[in-house]
Amino acid sequence: MHSGGWALFLVGALATTSAPATPAEVVVTASKHSESRLEVPASISRLEVEDIRLLGATHAAEALNRVAGVMIQRGSGQESLTAIRSPVLSGPGACGAFLLLEDGLPLRPVGFCNVNELFELNTGQAAAMEVIRGPGTALYGANAVHAVINVISPSIAELEPTRIALETGSHGFRRLQLGGSHVTAAGSGFGAWGSFTHDGGYRADAPVDDGKLNLLYQQRWRDGELRLRFAGTVLNQETAGFVRGLDAYRDPQLARSNPNPEAFRDAWSTRASASWSADSDCERCTTDLRLMLRRSRMQFLQHFLLGKPLERNGQDSLAFSALLARPWGSSNGTLWRVGLDLELADSWLVEQQDGPTLEGSAAARAIRPAGRHYDYQIDGATAAVFAALDWALTARLRAGASLRADLTRYDYDNRMRDGSTAEDGTPCGFGGCLYARPADRRDEFSNLTPRLSLTWAASAADRLYFAASRGFRPPEATELYRLQRQQRVAELDSEKLDSLELGWRHETERQAWSLAAYAMTKSNLILRDADAFNVSNGRTTHRGLEYEYRLWLAPDWQFSAAGTLARHRYDFSRSIEGGETIVRGHDVDTAPRQLHRAALGWHTTQRWSGELELQHVGPYYADAANRARYPGHTLANLRIAWSPLPQLRTTLRVTNLTDRAYADRADFAQGNWRYFPGRARSAFLEIEYSWHRH
């Protein structure tokens, strides 16, 4: 699509990509209690349950990519790489830049995230999904750097007594969704929902089996609401690797091939949580306590490395949070908040190569011996306190200020020989073995994160806001202790992101928009230099303009649009691993300057609804030197739902309607193009039966 065509997306101004955005629309992630989206001095978007059900996403990226500033690239199966107000981040610490929440609690402990952890969330049956772009509020510390994603599970009142949905689709796709609930006259109750999916795979030898189960018990307790939740996931996938060569994704045979049929990923996770919220004796009062137990295990073949070692990892952790919010004195115009977050984690990782390295040069084979490469265990602990104050300066102008203090500690235990020998102590030729193991040690990271905001009520329907904030992430455990090439210690600092944002939000019954301009600078960027040493003195800048817009054309028709114009650039020069060279002022690789989405939706009767959607990914450089450029792509999707009876609904979904050849991810490394090909045109048909509560 030519650049002039995107004037369509800027019609009127801008706003939410979810359900009808009226002044009554509420969000919960920014403050952990329901508040008008109009009043929040931050860029926050919400996908409602109606959007989620019509979408019927086969991957979480299909839902989240509807939000301005978000681009999640699908890998093989349920794998993913994320960009939110950022380039697409990859590598061992990439996941640390985005905080993933389930009902307001982090999905993984600090320092032990997984770059593909989106598959642990039941996004397809969520009650809502909220995204805060930019550093999070004082409620969220480590990892709330570029964004916060909160997947909100349904309450008992939102669950139907019985729901069953059967779906079939292209490439052997099959999915069963089940749900049910029981509610007593007193308002307590029990609910269960889950999904079981088999995807035969668009590419050869790449099937995926995925199961998710959620349980909820809810009751009134001690003048408040008590909710006990359980979530479990299982993933078994055969993984397809990159296809290589310039424009390989355009070749139908190459696009469906799998050069790594031996690759796989098996993972499971469980989470049990309890949350209690007291009844509020004032409009903005909050007393909120949450506790979560988490466990996860994963093993996968690292087919992208010479020697193809197997990694196994796991974590067991406990997280607790407390929040108290009250008016200041007798004034309802001033509100204070204080909170506490505590976390304990036990994590471990083993990497083992069963046989000798057969690929690469003689030198590359010699430094990659068979046997264990890494075997370590880490006890992690995090403690944080925060305080915030929100007050009225005038009848129209409000100010907010907050400060958060975090302390994170890792106790690392190497369960192998220190150094960079083979497992049995044998030295490697060509300067030593590739894999380096530090001696036992303790590392601590302390961070202060302030935030200031101003909100001006220009009219009943308009809010202008300004926010200055900081986000941070401590180094991930894999960056600190999974070293290479004679590096004995990685002296790393926490990555920090300083952000300035100016926004305008407008909401009426006819239309809604939000517009945000931001300028961010990230310091202490962790990367691997030309000696393969992990260092943390990189720097990047991020400048952008985001918009979201919704217009009700008629009672049954609406137009929506969302997108971003952004520039993400290196602010340093360096030679890095793989022979690449970073030059100050160049674009960060895999950072499109334009992302746009537009949709025409309809709900013409109680029986028919649907949407026609266009999604555009602009061109981006696939290497740090800015010499290899992917041209971008535009995709069309169609979704139509028909309800012949109130309890029966059928939905037809067609993705990549025009059968466009495109790449979910394009990358240039070691002198060659690498792609994850996008799926060809695919169709899915779902039949759903729901028994509604009267």
Phi, psi of 515 (to 5 degrees): -135, 130
Q: Which amino acid is at 123?
A: T
User: What pLDDT, on a 0 to 100 scale, did the predictor assign at position 594?
Assistant: 98
pLDDT band at 22 (very low <50, low <70, confident <90, very high): very low
Q: Is the pLDDT score of 5 beyond 80? A: no
Q: Is the pLDDT score of 84 beyond 90? A: yes
Q: Which amino acid is at 327?
A: P
Q: What is the DSSP letter of 127?
A: S
Strand, helix or coil at 504? Answer: strand
* β 147-152/98-102 pair status: parallel
Give CA–CA dist 694/692, Å, rounded: 6
Split into its structural domains, the chain has a count of: 1
Q: Are 249 and 255 in contact (CB under 8 A)?
A: yes
Q: Is the pLDDT score of 12 beyond 50? A: no
Q: Is the pLDDT score of 532 beyond 90? A: no
In the chain, pLDDT over 70 holds for what percent of residues? 96
In the chain, pLDDT over 90 holds for what percent of residues? 84
**Cα separation values, 612 from 3, 49, 558, Å:** 21, 18, 11
390-405 pLDDT per residue, tens? 999 999 999 999 999 9
E strand segments, 25-79: 26-27, 35-36, 43-48, 70-74
E strand segments, 50-161: 70-74, 80-84, 98-102, 105-106, 128-133, 147-152
Structure tokens at 10: 């800027």
96-111 pLDDT per residue, tens? 999 999 999 999 999 9
Give CA–CA dist 120/118, Å, rounded: 5
pLDDT band at 671 (very low <50, low <70, confident <90, very high): confident
One DSSP character per residue, 133-187 reads ESS--TT--TT-SSEEEEEEPPPGGGS-SEEEEEEEEGGGEEEEEEEEEEE-TTS
User: What pLDDT, on a 0 to 100 scale, did the predictor assign at position 7?
Assistant: 38
Can you name the residues that pair with 323 across neighbouring β-strands? 288, 339
User: What pLDDT, on a 0 to 100 scale, did the predictor assign at position 285?
Assistant: 84
Structure tokens at 29: 């992630």
Q: Is the pLDDT score of 675 beyond 50? A: yes
Q: What is the pTM of this model?
A: 0.94
Give CA–CA dist 369/365, Å, rounded: 7
Instruction: Give the torsion sign (CA, 526, 304, 110, 486).
Output: negative
Give CA–CA dist 150/176, Å, rounded: 24
Q: Which of 16-25, 33-42, 463-472, 524-533: highest mean pLDDT?
A: 463-472
User: What pLDDT, on a 0 to 100 scale, did the predictor assign at position 14?
Assistant: 33
Give CA–CA dist 187/227, Å, rounded: 12
One DSSP character per residue, 609-648 reads EEEEEEEEE--EESSTTS--EE--EEEEEEEEEEEEETTE
Give CA–CA dist 595/615, Å, rounded: 8
Q: Are 87 and 637 in contact (CB under 8 A)?
A: no
User: What pLDDT, on a 0 to 100 scale, did the predictor assign at position 109?
Assistant: 96
Which segment of 28-32, 161-165, 235-239 scores lowest on mean pLDDT? 28-32
Per the structure, the complete domain to which residue 62 belongs is given by 3-691
Give CA–CA dist 467/504, Å, rounded: 12
Q: Is the pLDDT score of 8 beyond 80? A: no
User: What pLDDT, on a 0 to 100 scale, did the predictor assign at position 303?
Assistant: 93
Structure tokens at 122: 């039941």
User: What pLDDT, on a 0 to 100 scale, did the predictor assign at position 611?
Assistant: 97
**Cα separation values, 590 from 54, 148, 245, 668, Å:** 30, 21, 18, 10
User: What pLDDT, on a 0 to 100 scale, did the predictor assign at position 41?
Assistant: 95
* CATH number of the structural domain spanning residue 122: 2.40.170.20
Give CA–CA dist 103/121, Å, rounded: 11
Task: Using the structure block, give the residue that is written with the tokens 């609401």.
Answer: 225
User: What pLDDT, on a 0 to 100 scale, did the predictor assign at position 332?
Assistant: 62
Strand, helix or coil at 125? Answer: helix
Nearest to 284 by CA among 332, 330, 340, 321: 332
